[in-house]
Structures are given as C-alpha cells and as structure tokens.
Structure 1
C-alpha cells in the first residue's frame, strides 16, 4: 500500500516537473505571438482614439475603460474558449471565420476611405433628411458599441493567431499563453490609447507650470495633438485595410502565392518588400470593401423592394 502511494506521488511529482518545464516556455511563446499580431495591435491602437473625438473630455477615460473591459472579457471568456474548441473539433473552420473578419475590416476601411474622398456625403445625407439627431449620451453609447464591434473582430484575429502558434503545445500551455497575450495586449493597447486621448490635458497642465521649458513643451503638446490624431486616423484606416486584406489573402492560396512572390522579389530590400506588401494589401482591401459595399447596397435595395 505504502509503495503504491509512493509510486503515485512520484508520478505526480514528475507531472508537476513536466508542467513547470513546459510553462517556463510561456514567455517565449507570448513574445513570439505578440510579434505576429503586431499589425493588428497597431490597427487597434490607431483606430480606437477616434471613438472619443468630439465627446465630453471628462468621459474619455471612462469610454476607453468600457471598451478595454469588454475587449478583455471577449478575449478571455468568449474568443479564447471558442478558439480552443474549434481547434479541437473543427480546425478547418478557423480560416473561413478569420476571412469573414478580415472582409469586415476591409469594408470598414473602404467606408472610411470613401468618407475621406467624399466630404459632401454627410451634407447630402442631411439634405435628404437621413441624419438623425441624438443626445450626447446616445452618441457615446453608439461610439462604444461601434468600438467594441471593431475590437471584437481584431481580438478574434489576435486570439486565432495566438492559438495557431501554440496549437501543437499542451493544453495548459495553450491556455497560459492565450491568457497572457490577452492581458498584455489589452493593457498595452488601451493604456497607450488612454495616454493619447489625455495628452492634450497633460499638455495644458504642463503649460500652467512656472517653469518656462515645461510651459513650452506643454503648449507644443497641445498644438501637436490635433494633427497627431488626424495622422493616427489615417494610419488606423491604412492598418485596417492592410490587416483585413492580408487575412483574406492568406486564406486564398492563389493570392497568397502571388503576395509571397512579391515579397521574395524584393527580399534584398526588406523595407521596400514590406512596403510593397502593405500597399498591395491596402489596394486589395479597398477593392474588396468596394465590392462588399455594393453587394450590401444591392441586398438592401432588393429587401426594400420586396417589402413594398
């Protein structure tokens, strides 16, 4: 009896040692995964600040917190377990789901580009009576809902890519890496976003100090932030098109092959190779977004005509 108990304890100790050795590799896997999702992280960071532009400054951090909290919950409670279950029962479904998310990002990116080059669209909609007057509270709720929806797609891409890097690892490792990535990326993205949206307040506070150098820096921050936010909006749109299109392209072997050939042809100049890939993806993203927008418009038209 005693020897059997000792043998069981030895087995438990060996299992603990194996698990500990496996978990020692988690930081390396987290770093590897973070590098792979860097494009999506840039997209998320660049896109989010626009959701608080024009709202009450006193509500900015509260709005960012709402989005961050929901982003973390989605990654940990919904997307993480879903990725594990799909990876076990239906690994073939992960790529099509990712492609749908990528197509959505292309559609949103195209709408933003279209808005940039069609500044009179809002005026035409207002003249046609299509603009709805809403309260600041309703606007905030609408912005938060829109931000969470976009973040959900980006979070799904992050979780799926994270899972793909640890799919051959033990289940405990998969869970540990996915949880660590969710915590690190959510904290990094929304911590930086919070800093961006409150930078003008920090600048105003510095401008009121007695030190001349501090005042100068503070005034410089206040003057720089509107231009920075505008540039960040362009970067966010470009990143949205790039990330969305690359996800779709990777799911289509023919297009993926040509994208790889483009990169390999410029491999001697890495920066140019990366830039060519980004531009090619962005152009493809705009084209795909245009097609999706037309299909949605046609579907809406058919739906209205059938209801008459």
Structure 2
C-alpha cells in the first residue's frame, strides 16, 4: 500500500515536472516570438525614422560649428546628454498617449509630418533668400569670437548647447512619434522596448557620427603632418571632402524631410494614399517596373511634402505679420 502510494506520488511529481517543462518551452517560444516581434518592429521603426536621421546629423554637426577644436567633443557630449534627457521625457509621454489617447497618434503624426515639411521648405527658402556672403559673414563672426580673449567662450558654448538641445527635442519628438505610430497596436511591453531601443540607438548613432564628422578636419590635418606620402594624400583628400560631406548631408536631410513628412501626410489622408498607391501600381507596368514602382510613390510623397511645407510656411508668415501689425497698433 505504501509502495503504491509512493509510486503514485512519484508519478504525480513526474507529471508536474512534465507540465513545468512544457510550460517552460511554451514560455520560451513566446519570449522568442516576442523578441522577434520587437526586433522586426525596431527595424521598421528605424527605417521610418531614418529620414529624420540625415537632417538630425547635418543640423547637429552645424550646431557645434564655431566652437574651438579642443572643445568640440565636450560640446557634442553635452548635447548628447541633453538628447537623452529629451527622450527620457518623450518616451513616457508617448506611452501615456498610446495608453489613454490612442486616437491622438494619427493626428500627432500628421502634425509632425507637416512640421517636417515646413522645416524642409524653410531651409530651402533660406538658401534661396539669403546670399552666400551672409553665411560666410556668420562663419567669420564665429571665428573672431574664438580668437578674441575678451569673449566669454563658456557662455558662447552654453548658448550653442541650449540651441542644439532645443533642436534635438523637436527632432526627437518626430522620431518618437513615428516610432509610436509603428508600435501603436503592440502590447505595452513591446511598445516600451521598441521606443526605448530606438531612443538609445538614434542618440548613440547620431551623436557618435556627429563627433566623427566634426573631427574630420582634425583627422585630415593630422594625416597631412605624417611623413608618408599616402597619409598626406589621404589627409588632403579628407580636408577637401569634409565640406562636401556636410553639404551632402544637408541636402540629403532636406530631401528626407520632404519624403518622410509627405509620406506621413499621404498615409494619413485615405484619398491621397490610394491615389499614390494606384500610381505606383501603374508605374510597375512600365519598363524597369520595379524601379518605377518604388520611385513614383516616393516622388509623389516628396511633391506633397513640398506643397505642404509651402502652405505651412505661408501660414506661419501670415500669422507673424498679423501679430506684428497688432503689436504696432
């Protein structure tokens, strides 16, 4: 009897252990599936936010121009810390919106898309309306400030850092908003993981590259001072290429703002979305169809982005003029 009870107990224990092993396997599969989902969503979010990345790089690299060479990396580090603080604020806000006002995600994305288009169009108009000598004069004033011992460079750096962190807040908000749109229907834990992951990846990526970009000229000078002719030639090439790299980043960033911003607006308006999709499907029948299938929708998104940017800029200018007249009267 005792032996039978012992055997029954052992059988029960074996059954429980089997159940535990089965539940562990199921939990492991669920964890793996969740990890795969998070990985996929992070990749999708990174692809969608990459459009903002080019402008973020160029803008932040430009923000630290005028700072002494030995102070460039400390200034970039200070801005990077400010960027992390921005994201520490923005990620919980995004999660609160997703939890309590999910209906606000699309309108926020639309506002963000319109702002991207506005900022891109404003940059284009700045290049058109401001002569090159004005930018050269600003650069010269920065150089004089660095050379003048009477100028408070600590205050100058603080202003640079504040301006860069303010700019980063807007661009970080765009990145978080686009990411939130990607994970809006996912469970809370996945939303948190993807948002936090994108926040860290973008911060490290952007400011790591900014640090590299602003030190390119120093690398070129260092290589030119070497005895090797190959090193000297490489240094000269880097010094020639650095200004063009900055210009290329700026152009690519502006184009990306129209593409991303226009794409967000098109996606948020069903009529436009279907029209662009239809145009892409028709273009797929042309010679080299796969290329046109990708190119045509992106071109249409960019056109929408340019038009939206022009409209928003016109509205902003009109409001500013009306305010000016009201203040004058």
Q: Normalization by structure 1: what TM-score?
A: 0.80
Partner residue, 1:130: none
Mapped pair 1:218 → 2:235:
yes
CA distance in 2, matches of 1:189, 1:270: 32
Aligned residues: 293
RMSD: 3.3
Partner residue, 2:142: none
How much does 1:31 deviate?
A: 2.7
Mapped pair 1:233 → 2:250:
yes
Partner residue, 1:114: 125
How is 1:179-258 mapped onto 2 (pairs within 5 angstroms)?
A: 179-258=196-275
Partner residue, 2:191: 174
CA distance in 2, matches of 1:258, 1:119: 37
How is 1:21-100 mapped onto 2 (pairs within 5 angstroms)?
A: 21=32, 23-25=34-36, 26-75=38-87, 77-100=88-111
Mapped pair 1:103 → 2:114:
yes
Is the contact made by 2:116 and 2:261 (CA closer than 8 Å) also made in structure 1?
yes
* 3-state SS of 1:169 partner: coil
CA distance in 2, matches of 1:60, 1:270: 45
Change beyond 3 A, Cα 1:198–1:287: same
How much does 1:122 deviate?
A: 8.3
CA distance in 1, matches of 2:242, 2:259: 25
Partner residue, 2:310: 290
Change beyond 3 A, Cα 1:82–1:202: same
CA distance in 1, matches of 2:246, 2:82: 23
CA distance in 2, matches of 1:109, 1:157: 14
CA distance in 2, matches of 1:166, 1:231: 32
CA distance in 2, matches of 1:122, 1:296: 26
CA distance in 2, matches of 1:64, 1:280: 36
Partner residue, 2:277: 260
* 3-state SS of 1:210 partner: coil
Is the contact made by 1:199 and 1:225 (CA closer than 8 Å) also made in structure 2?
yes
Is the contact made by 1:101 and 1:153 (CA closer than 8 Å) also made in structure 2?
no
How much does 1:159 deviate?
A: 2.1
Is the contact made by 2:112 and 2:177 (CA closer than 8 Å) also made in structure 1?
no
Is the contact made by 2:109 and 2:181 (CA closer than 8 Å) also made in structure 1?
no
Change beyond 3 A, Cα 1:275–1:141: farther
Is the contact made by 2:283 and 2:289 (CA closer than 8 Å) also made in structure 1?
yes
Unpaired runs of 5+ residues, structure 2, are 1-15, 138-144, 146-150
How is 1:144-155 mapped onto 2 (pairs within 5 angstroms)?
A: 144-155=161-172
Q: Normalization by structure 2: what TM-score?
A: 0.76
Deviations 1:77-99 (A, max 9, x none): 22211221111211111111122
How much does 1:112 deviate?
A: 1.3
How much does 1:48 deviate?
A: 2.6
CA distance in 2, matches of 1:264, 1:192: 37
